[in-house]
Amino acid sequence: MPKDWKLARKHFRLKSLNGRFVKLNRFENRINERELRKYCMRCSPVHVYFSVLDWLFPERVGKKCKANRALPISGEYVIDIDSYLLHQWHRHRLSKSWNVCNECLEAAKFLTIEACFALEKYYSNVSVVFSGKNGFHIHVHDFKVRDWTRYKWNNPIKSHEVARFKFTKTLSFDFSTRKIEGSS
């Protein structure tokens, strides 16, 4: 687990075998790596999700109307690149041991590398994580809201939303121009 992830500031949910979501921070305010491992061993979840944002009070994270009480203090910028978004429908050739379409995974890998090239213009502290059988997540650890917008203390969630929106637009423009330059 990357050291940049402040687990005690993340909001966690587990997806159980029956499809229900269990909010871990309701039972325990701060979760560390050892406690998370204990929950996973006991519950055997299908998935473990955690928030991109770091929260002052992760136990208060809930519905959007109440989330301002949780107070986001920082957070990563995450790009999710999944292979099923890359192609029109095609006949997937799945490997026997992994149940993964190598063609889709190669396409996701290519896009991930291209996105990392576009990102390095702005940030250097980046991690790439395999996200299952469909693709990759790119985590930008040193993303700062103030790099992209004014931080409003009276509405911190909106500040994070605006900063991420502005960076996404900038990054998508850089990515599209890079693709055009690369194809010529």
Query: What string of pLDDT tens digits covers the 184 residues of the chain?
Result: 666 677 778 888 888 888 888 888 766 667 778 888 888 888 888 888 888 777 777 777 776 555 556 677 777 888 888 765 555 566 666 656 656 777 778 888 888 888 888 888 899 888 888 877 678 888 888 888 888 988 887 878 788 889 989 999 998 887 777 655 554 4
The CA distance from 116 to 92, in Å, is 26
Please report the pLDDT score of residue 72 as a whole number: 72
Identity of residue 156: P
Please report the pLDDT score of residue 184 as a whole number: 43
Residue pair 48/40 in contact (Cβ under 8 Å)? The answer is yes
- Residue 133 vs residues 96, 109, 130: alpha-carbon distances, Å: 13, 12, 8
Q: Hey, which residues does 81 pair with through a beta bridge?
A: 136
Q: Is the dihedral of CA 33, 7, 10, 59 positive or negative?
A: positive
Q: How far apart are the first and last CA of the chain?
A: 40
Please report the pLDDT score of residue 179 as a whole number: 57
